[in-house]
Amino acid sequence: MLRTSRLTKLIIYAVLVVYVIIIITPFLMIFMNSFKSLREIFLKPFSLPSQFSLKNFVEAWKRANLTSAFANSIYVTTVSVLGILFVSSMLAYAISRYDFPFRRFLYIYIIAGLALPARLAIIPIYVILQKLNLLDTRLGLIIVYVSTGIAFATFLLKNFMDDIPKALEESAMIDGANPWTIFTKIDLPLIKHALVVVGVVNFVGIWNDFFFPLIIINSQGKETVPLAISIFFGEYSNQWNLISAALSMSVIPIMIGFFLLSRYFIVGITQGAVK
């Protein structure tokens, strides 16, 4: 067990406090500015609002059509995360537990997706979606998110599955369990913390993504939240009061999800660090 002096602990705590302040300050500014008028933001950007009014929230919600945008984002994000977890967990199970030809090549091919960002392949992605008539569809957006999220998820889940004792599976097979039962009833529960890590990381990334919806989605009724908020950015001026209000509302699902799953997320990250 590591032993640290009192001075070292004070330094660590001081650094952590400074770090928390640096991280929280932008969120507090956005939240405070969401109650101000545009004029007040420019005159007093770091002060508390003169009055707390929900006018900016109501106007931003109506003008950006956030009812439809939130529904689209929830649908696309949820289905994409579930698709990533479903495909990557089965891939990780097959690569970790079965010995078949080109098994190592398949694993290297999958994790090669971590080497280059998917945005570099936006032109072939766009052409493929166009030929499949999936442009301007939420299904096309989901397929892109699932395909780009499989590499990291498979890499992480495979490492966790490698540590599951094969004796557990052999005992289950003796009792008559088939591979699907072993996969769903034994392996997945044992790596639930890793599944939460994969889910949270992909949820945040997909929910906040602006690039792929901008390229794939053209119809206003199919916009996700980041794309809907972009209407407040103008060529010559930006409506910062409405932007702040819309951004404050957009982070609520992320905060709720993280607080509900934070315990599992931290445990999964800690187990991954030990590996």
Cα–Cα distance measured from residue 101 to residue 190, given in angstroms and rounded to the nearest whole number:
27
Task: Please give the structure tokens belonging to residue 28.
Answer: 């507090």
Q: Tell me, what amino acid is at 246?
A: A
DSSP string, 90-154: HHHHHHHH---TTHHHHHHHHHGGGTS-GGGGHHHHHHHHHHTT-TTSHHHHHHHHHHHHHHHHH
DSSP string, 23-74: HHHHHHHHHHHTTS-HHHHHH-TTSPPSS--SHHHHHHHHHTTHHHHHHHHH
**What pTM did the predictor assign?**
0.86
> Which residue blocks in 175-229 are alpha helix, DSSP H?
179-182, 188-190, 192-208, 211-216, 225-229
- Is residue 18 domain-resident? no
Kindly calculate the radius of gyration of the chain based on its CA atoms and give it in whole angstroms. Answer: 23
- Is residue 77 domain-resident? yes
Cα–Cα distance measured from residue 62 to residue 155, given in angstroms and rounded to the nearest whole number:
42
- Distances in whole angstroms, Cα of residue 86 to Cα of each of 8, 65, 183, 203, 238: 44, 32, 12, 14, 41
- Is residue 255 domain-resident? yes
- CATH code of residue 146: 1.10.3720.10
Q: Tell me, what amino acid is at 188?
A: L
In a structure prediction context, what are the per-residue pLDDT tens digits for the chain, which is 275 residues long? Answer: 456 678 888 898 999 999 989 988 888 888 999 998 888 888 888 888 888 888 999 999 999 999 999 999 999 999 999 999 999 999 999 998 888 888 888 888 888 888 878 888 899 999 999 999 999 999 999 999 999 999 999 998 998 888 888 888 888 888 888 888 888 888 888 888 889 889 988 999 999 999 999 999 998 889 999 999 988 887 667 888 999 999 999 988 888 877 777 676 666 555 544 45
Torsion of CA 62, 58, 209, 198, to 10 degrees: -120
Nearest 5°: phi and psi at 149? -95, -10
The answer to whether the beta carbons of residues 73 and 225 sit under 8 Å apart is yes
Helix (H, G, I), strand (E, B) or coil at 179: helix
The answer to whether the beta carbons of residues 226 and 213 sit under 8 Å apart is yes
Cα–Cα distance measured from residue 113 to residue 108, given in angstroms and rounded to the nearest whole number:
9
The 10s digit of each residue's pLDDT in 17-63 is: 999 899 888 888 889 999 988 888 888 888 888 888 889 999 999 99
Total count of domains within the chain: 1
- Is residue 205 domain-resident? yes
- Is residue 62 domain-resident? yes
Cα–Cα distance measured from residue 69 to residue 121, given in angstroms and rounded to the nearest whole number:
26
Supply angle C-alpha 116, 136, 125, rounded to 5. Answer: 25
68: domain range?
Answer: 56-274
Cα–Cα distance measured from residue 255 to residue 26, given in angstroms and rounded to the nearest whole number:
15
- Is residue 207 domain-resident? yes
- Is residue 11 domain-resident? no
Cα–Cα distance measured from residue 236 to residue 255, given in angstroms and rounded to the nearest whole number:
32
- Is residue 41 domain-resident? no
The 10s digit of each residue's pLDDT in 89-112 is: 999 999 988 888 888 888 888 888
Q: Tell me, what amino acid is at 192?
A: K
